[in-house]
Amino acid sequence: MANILITHGVPMEGFARLARQNLRQPPKGESFSRDDMLSMLSDFDAVVACGAMDRTMMERATRAKLVVSYGAGYDSIDVAAATALGIPVAHVPDTVTESTAELAMAHLLAVTRRVGELDRRLREADSTRDLFTMGQSMGVLLDGMTLGVVGMGRIGARVAEFGRFLGMRVVYHSRGIKPFSVAGNARRLPLAELLRQSDVVSLHCPLTPDTYHILGREQLALMRPTAFLINTSRGKLTDEPALIEALETGRLAGAGLDVFETEPEVSARLRKLPNVTLTPHIGSNIPGVRRRMAEECAQRVLDALAGTRPANLLNPKVWPRRA
């Protein structure tokens, strides 16, 4: 029987295949403190990481045959430190593609048709008559518009597919040229040119040192004043103060945001803006998606314990050393 640490109180449905193992998990909705983690990590054979795993934590995980990220993202896990220590790190990227892509499209449709703004105005108005006046509450038709996808991975490719279905022209920026099976007829552009051409820019790249503030003040200034930004990836991809300023001054038409630079805190200035739709990082918040995330994490743990190379290793070179 192996000792398995699940760092947060996520739903246990889906972890059933680990029932024969010794599981340690905080109560539902809670998480272990950093001090708790540091004191207990040396006791565990595998870790399901739902939050940060920094170098110091990795150094304490002396028995770990695997650290697996509970989701597609892994920017909070120090993969370099794990690699130096010979600890394999995996993630479960296929689990959240549909749910995150759908959320990106929900934000895209909501902000371009002013759904959030008009919902609030209808609820708060003393009289709703003016809101029904002919020619009021105008939105944007997506058919014929240009969708710029930054990061043509699993989620970005699905968003591109949705955009084409709505009649949008799709362009993309990615580290390499993607095959037709992934990008369809989308044209690959340098980031600056994509920003100049796009009516909607949707971010789908991972957060790395190279992509931190990939949309900074200079890049945001390249976007059209009629353009919209969608971010369901990571908040630190954008310079949030610069984004807020662009939204406040009309240099950007609107934004749909599921992620924030300082989350779980969200800027009061951002929350006051009528031309922004906001959700609290809910890309995977669907019961079936969470169950699949748990199932795939559990399978990767079992594979590692059995000496079988887990799928989606982020540092595959360490596997022979750890096995």
Q: Which residues contact 118 (CB under 8 A, 6 or more apart)?
A: 131, 137
Decide the pairing of beta strands 66-69 and 254-257. Answer: unpaired
**Which residues are marked as active site?**
234, 263, 281
Residue 169 CA, distance from chain mean position: 24
**Both structure tokens of 153:** 């991975």
What string of DSSP letters covers 264-294? TS--HHHHH-TTEEE-SS-TT-SHHHHHHHH
Tell me how far apart the alpha carbons of residues 243 and 225 are, in angstroms, rounded to a whole number. Answer: 12
Residue with token string 């970005």: 156
Query: CA geometry: angle at 162 spanning 158 and 166, to 5°?
Result: 165
Q: Tell me the torsion sign for CA atoms 56, 89, 301, 152.
A: positive
**45 in Cβ contact with 3 (< 8 Å):** yes
Backbone angles phi, psi at 110, to 5 degrees: -65, -45
Tell me how far apart the alpha carbons of residues 116 and 276 are, in angstroms, rounded to a whole number. Answer: 8
